Structure 1
Amino acid sequence: MAATAAITMAHQMPPMSIPQMPRIRPPRMLKGTKSPNTDPQPPLGPSGEDRWWVQGKWRKHNANALKDRAQIQSRQAVKALRHGTHGLDIYAYRHVRTNQVVYSLTRTLQSTKVLNQLVFHGKKTVPSSVRTDMWTPHFSIHFPSTPAGALEGLFAFQKLRELSLQRQLSPPDDLIRVTEEDIAVIKSKIGNPVDHQEMAAREELTGKIPKIGEILPKKLHARRLMDHKATSVADAAFVLDWISSGPGPLERLVEVATNRAVRHSQKTRRARQRANTIRKEETSEQQKLEDRASWALEVHESDNRSRLPLMRAALEQLSMEHQGLVSCGRLVEAENIRELRDAVKEWEAFYDGDASKVDVEAWSRRQYTLRQAERRAIEEWFDLHDVPMSEHGSVWKNVAEARQAALNQFEEKEGKILQDSDKGKPDWAELREVKMYWADLNDGLFAASWPQNVVHSRLAPFNVARGQPRRPQGAAGAVLKQLKDAKKTDQAETEQTRQDTILSKSVHVIGGRLDDGWMPVEFASGVKQPAPLQPRQPDAEDLEDSYAYEQDQERGRGTAGEDIAAVREDVEHSNTGILARGWGRVRGFFGRRKRESTIYEDR
């Protein structure tokens, strides 16, 4: 009995919980400790000819560590090239259902950048993630490939986002009030007019149909504030007019650099030391980005086995974004990158950045005078007009005139603060052209007017990646080689005979101008146009019945209704010659008489 009780108690006792094992973390690497990932590459050994130096070891091409490192380096090269052209392009995406518009500095959608621009207006107004199939290109703005163009692009990007946010958080009163169109939409969702009468008789429409002038219901209110299709176009015209009416590109750069130098000279000694330290770090970081960008632009050194070749997907992405050709694992003929680098060198050679030559107090008075003149011009414009832009002028043109008048008056009193440089101005000193590409050119009509320096064109429906032209193969290549060996063709003609290679295409990468030559014509058109109809030539049968042939030729000049009416008239009013005349026209209208084949005649 006692043994049975002991066994039963043992099964009834709950099992004792085992304490969790403490998590043992690896020792933290102290500062200055040597890491195998940073070990320099040793000289190539006999077994290292086909291997790469990754994470302190020689690894084969199929090693997982090598694949992971190749992805990291490819991503770094893509980001470095994007950083180099930061601000030159602005891309607007539109939601296909809600007409929300977001802005981006890259040709591809980035979830972290898009979700921050969406404002919460109620339930289901902000998605949890970005679906690329729900966003379509709206328009794109392209500034010149110069330092001033990048500065203007970043300014425009900031103002476009601020205007969009301001309109949603502080909308105008007429935007959120009920109109007759809103009442018609609400009634259509409730039911047909018969249902309205029945519901009105039962007093069920109370509170369901708002009155004109009231605040919109919650759902319509959110839908109205989320519709940015027209307002984004008006904002773009407003900001571009703001930029084009301001100082010139070179003058703007000089003013920004002088303001920065003057503020730096007014700081304390410790503040200047901190600023200098930050600038040194920025310079080293900029040098690191340039080195990473060179991975995609320069030829790979065979001795450096620690820098891996870029992945094919990354090269195709770079080709789409910068319109360069992929050749031998690098990007060539990227015109915008080359133009921007040349412009930066010209700017560095033109501006010395010496703040000691500038009178700080006089410069402060100059800037204050210009700001006061601009503010006064804005107030005078809105005292007379309700909108910033009209067909007769804009607020920014008045601001530009007032600024120039105030500057001339200030220089007459105190003289020029910024003396003209002895060095020649860069070629882009007066370059103000801004290109704007539209998915639908009719959307540009939402703005009242556009600045004269804005060039409009159509936006390509997608983008393509292209490889370096290759020489023709087969018989054409053999003939070209014979001509070249016989010295009957020169190198220039040989280059012209090369064929472009389309590597890939993507609808998720915004393209450039539709007719800029980057996208092939057959890709841009989408569908092939049918060949134009040619009039048929007379044959022996038509010559026998010349009247029928003449009527057949005239029939194509009129409409189908006129042709049918003519046939009926001939059939009804013709006499015994109906078979000769009327049915000749009918035969030509419904199709020619099928001839007997020559084989049948031979039989």
Structure 2
Amino acid sequence: MAATAATTMAHQMPPMSIPQMPRIRPPRMLKGTKSPNTDPQPPIGPTGASRWWVQGKWRKHNSNAIKDRAQTQSRQAVKALQHRTHGLDIYAYRHVRTNQVVYSLTRTLQSTKVLKQLVFHGKKTVPSSVRTDMWTPHFSIHFPSTPAGALEGLFAFQKLRELSLQRQLSPPDDLIRVTEEDIAIIRSKLGNPVDIQEMAAREELTGKIPKLGEILPKKLHARRLMDQKATSVADAAFVLDWISSGPGPLERLVEVATNRAVKHSQKTRRARQRANAIRKEEVTEQQKLEDRASWALEVRERENRSRLPLMRAALEQLSMEHQGLIARGRLVEAENIHELRDAVKEWEAFYDDDAGKKIDVEAWSRRQYALRQAERRAIEGWFELHDVPMSEHGSVWKNVGEARQGALKEFEEKEGKILSDSDKGKPDWAESREVKMYWADLNDGLFAASWPQTVVHSRLAPFNVARGQPRGPQGVAGAVLKELKDSEEIDDAETEQTRQDTILSKSVHVIGGRLDDSWMPPEFASGVKQPATLQPRQPDSEDQEDSYAYDQDQERGQGTAAEDIAAVREDLEQSSSGIWGRLRGFFGRRKRESTFYEDR
């Protein structure tokens, strides 16, 4: 009896609450605190000749600290170069099943950037993750490697996303209304005409066939709004026409810098102090990014054992992003990076910051107001006559550009020039407006009514082997090796390894063909709705010499090309041979990574 009472009493007593243990965190180290991890590298001794200085110690190449630091430095170098070329390229991807289109500033699809662009139209209209096998390249836009090209690229990226979102949230009526074609499609899915007559006799067609002119059914409505294959092309033509009809690259940069200086002068004293402090931090951060970018572009000092060589995967990614070649653990022949650096230097030498501070604020405000009024009146006048922004007779932005030039000329005649011409020579890219556009299918370009004359169209190569493919001494790779050897950056012992690194570098996705660059189909300019056929342009004398040299290089490198093809085929067989092939490839990669640091 007592045992039964004790057992029941234990179940009737409420459980005692256990207090939650506080979470103890280690104290955060303040900036500038002395730590062994920040100790500078000592002089290289007999033990440090084959080791690396990481986290305040000489460590072996296979230690976890070395691997972690190598991954961190490689990631920092990749992000620094992406920050430098931010906005120069826009890549459009299309979903193979729904024809949804997303835009990216990098060649690789990032789930955090892509999923934000997909609008929810119902169940299963937004994927939970980004599958690379379901997205294919649609087209790519490449702006000149100048500061103005970066501004234009970011502007185009913003407007393309805004137009896509606006069309999906507030679509036009003709896009979501039932047409006779939709009714025919729905009838064909219900069965043959005899079955439809029998269903109509039994009154089973109620609610199954929509009426002409009403809103589409839910699933068909979502499918129609998600299909952006044609509208994305029209948006690209619209935005590029907007940019090409505006002010020139140098004029655009001067106007942006002057607006920034005028707004800065109108701030209060404390606001200017905060802005100057932020500017100093930005300069410091920019210098840090420049140093990290030099890790991938400059030769590493042999005495510096604290900066590790970049990982092979990071070098391949940089080669893909910037169309460069890999040589001695760094990136060479990256044309867009060097062109942009020279263009920035030319812009800084041309523009004087003191000129923006001495400008008349009231006169500048009147000038900007007059230009905006002229642009607004031109847009209103165009749409009073036309229903679409672009037609065979012209475009709204061409009309706006002419109105802007007329208003600027009239204002300067009344009040004089506010921005005086600089005595310094203009940069070479001051009037460069050419924009390259590469297509996965050239016929997709006909979805737009017309294209600006400043846009150059070409094919898009989904998989392109390295530009150093001619392996002979006269090819691109041979020229790079000769240049490096003449500058005493490599010795004879490293020549063969450098040649292999140069040849095996790959560039994938949106690399335009060199045969049909600077080519524009006549159908794109005239707006004729017929399939565009790509005809190679006739080479001139210089092109014939280049093609002859290229053929000779191909003849010299037949054996090496066969070896490369055999190596690629072997890699493909290992990747498709099941789990054992993957394990062999995994251990082989581990072995290559272990010898990577020993060679250096």
Q: CA-to-partner distance for each residue in 1:100-139, whole Å, 9 max, x for gaps? A: 1111111111111101110111111111100011000000
Partner of 1:317: 317
Determine whether 1:406 maps to 2:401. Answer: no
After the TM superposition, which residues 85-104 of structure 1 pair with which residues of structure 2 at under 5 Å, given as runs? 85-104=85-104
Q: Give the unaligned 5+ runs of structure 1.
A: 478-493, 528-603
Identify if the C-alpha distance between structure 1 residues 398 and 61 changes in structure 2 by more than 3 Å, giving closer, same or farther: same
Identify if the C-alpha distance between structure 1 residues 349 and 194 changes in structure 2 by more than 3 Å, giving closer, same or farther: same
The whole-number CA distance in structure 2 between the counterparts of 1:301 and 1:467 is: 26
SS in 1 for 2:337: helix
SS in 1 for 2:462: coil
SS in 1 for 2:511: coil
Partner of 1:31: 30
Deviation at 1:20, TM superposition (A): 7.6
Identify if the C-alpha distance between structure 1 residues 503 and 7 changes in structure 2 by more than 3 Å, giving closer, same or farther: farther
The whole-number CA distance in structure 2 between the counterparts of 1:196 and 1:412 is: 74
The whole-number CA distance in structure 1 between the counterparts of 2:396 and 2:5 is: 94
* Alpha carbons 1:246, 1:400 under 8 Å: kept: yes
Deviation at 1:470, TM superposition (A): 6.5
After the TM superposition, which residues 427-438 of structure 1 pair with which residues of structure 2 at under 5 Å, given as runs? 427-438=428-439
Partner of 2:488: none
SS in 1 for 2:188: helix
Sequence identity percentage: 84
Deviation at 1:52, TM superposition (A): 1.3
The whole-number CA distance in structure 1 between the counterparts of 2:343 and 2:506 is: 31
Partner of 1:450: 451
Letter in 1 for 2:460: L
* Alpha carbons 1:326, 1:466 under 8 Å: kept: no
Q: Give the unaligned 5+ runs of structure 2.
A: 479-494, 518-546, 566-600
Determine whether 1:376 maps to 2:389. Answer: no
Deviation at 1:333, TM superposition (A): 1.2
Determine whether 1:353 maps to 2:375. Answer: no
SS in 1 for 2:309: coil
SS in 2 for 1:429: coil
Identify if the C-alpha distance between structure 1 residues 52 and 372 changes in structure 2 by more than 3 Å, giving closer, same or farther: same
SS in 1 for 2:102: strand
The whole-number CA distance in structure 1 between the counterparts of 2:250 and 2:377 is: 26
Deviation at 1:465, TM superposition (A): 4.6
TM-score, normalised to structure 2's length? 0.78
Identify if the C-alpha distance between structure 1 residues 20 and 45 changes in structure 2 by more than 3 Å, giving closer, same or farther: farther
The whole-number CA distance in structure 2 between the counterparts of 1:8 and 1:361 is: 94
The whole-number CA distance in structure 2 between the counterparts of 1:167 and 1:316 is: 38
Letter in 2 for 1:74: S
After the TM superposition, which residues 179-218 of structure 1 pair with which residues of structure 2 at under 5 Å, given as runs? 179-218=179-218
Deviation at 1:27, TM superposition (A): 2.8
The whole-number CA distance in structure 2 between the counterparts of 1:72 and 1:499 is: 26
Deviation at 1:26, TM superposition (A): 3.7
SS in 2 for 1:457: strand
* Alpha carbons 1:350, 1:425 under 8 Å: kept: yes
The whole-number CA distance in structure 2 between the counterparts of 1:444 and 1:231 is: 11
The whole-number CA distance in structure 2 between the counterparts of 1:303 and 1:19 is: 58
Deviation at 1:392, TM superposition (A): 1.2
Identify if the C-alpha distance between structure 1 residues 21 and 37 changes in structure 2 by more than 3 Å, giving closer, same or farther: farther
* Alpha carbons 1:320, 1:511 under 8 Å: kept: no
Deviation at 1:391, TM superposition (A): 1.0
The whole-number CA distance in structure 1 between the counterparts of 2:283 and 2:157 is: 25
Partner of 1:568: none
The whole-number CA distance in structure 2 between the counterparts of 1:373 and 1:215 is: 39
* Alpha carbons 2:93, 2:101 under 8 Å: kept: yes
Q: CA-to-partner distance for each residue in 1:359-382, whole Å, 9 max, x for gaps? A: 111011000000000000000000
Partner of 1:277: 277
Deviation at 1:424, TM superposition (A): 0.4
* Alpha carbons 1:92, 1:138 under 8 Å: kept: yes
Determine whether 1:247 maps to 2:241. Answer: no
* Alpha carbons 1:468, 1:500 under 8 Å: kept: no
Letter in 2 for 1:79: K
The whole-number CA distance in structure 2 between the counterparts of 1:499 and 1:56 is: 35
Letter in 1 for 2:388: V
Determine whether 1:419 maps to 2:414. Answer: no
The whole-number CA distance in structure 2 between the counterparts of 1:315 and 1:466 is: 15
Partner of 2:593: none
Letter in 1 for 2:200: A
Larger radius of gyration: 1
The whole-number CA distance in structure 1 between the counterparts of 2:281 and 2:131 is: 38
Letter in 1 for 2:253: L
* Alpha carbons 1:99, 1:227 under 8 Å: kept: yes
The whole-number CA distance in structure 1 between the counterparts of 2:378 and 2:325 is: 49
Letter in 1 for 2:267: K
Identify if the C-alpha distance between structure 1 residues 471 and 23 changes in structure 2 by more than 3 Å, giving closer, same or farther: farther
- More off after superposition, 239-248 vs 44-53: 44-53
Letter in 2 for 1:421: S
Partner of 1:264: 264
* Alpha carbons 1:118, 1:126 under 8 Å: kept: yes
After the TM superposition, which residues 17-416 of structure 1 pair with which residues of structure 2 at under 5 Å, given as runs? 19=18, 22=21, 25-32=24-31, 33-354=33-354, 355-416=356-417
The whole-number CA distance in structure 2 between the counterparts of 1:213 and 1:10 is: 75
Partner of 2:485: none
The whole-number CA distance in structure 2 between the counterparts of 1:471 and 1:176 is: 59
The whole-number CA distance in structure 1 between the counterparts of 2:308 and 2:193 is: 71
* Alpha carbons 1:435, 1:455 under 8 Å: kept: yes
Paired residue total: 497
The whole-number CA distance in structure 1 between the counterparts of 2:4 and 2:224 is: 76
Identify if the C-alpha distance between structure 1 residues 60 and 11 changes in structure 2 by more than 3 Å, giving closer, same or farther: farther
Identify if the C-alpha distance between structure 1 residues 504 and 425 changes in structure 2 by more than 3 Å, giving closer, same or farther: closer
Partner of 1:537: none
The whole-number CA distance in structure 1 between the counterparts of 2:514 and 2:181 is: 37
C-alpha RMSD of matched pairs (Å)? 2.9
- More off after superposition, 36-45 vs 263-272: 36-45
* Alpha carbons 1:370, 1:407 under 8 Å: kept: yes
The whole-number CA distance in structure 1 between the counterparts of 2:195 and 2:36 is: 78
* Alpha carbons 1:470, 1:501 under 8 Å: kept: no
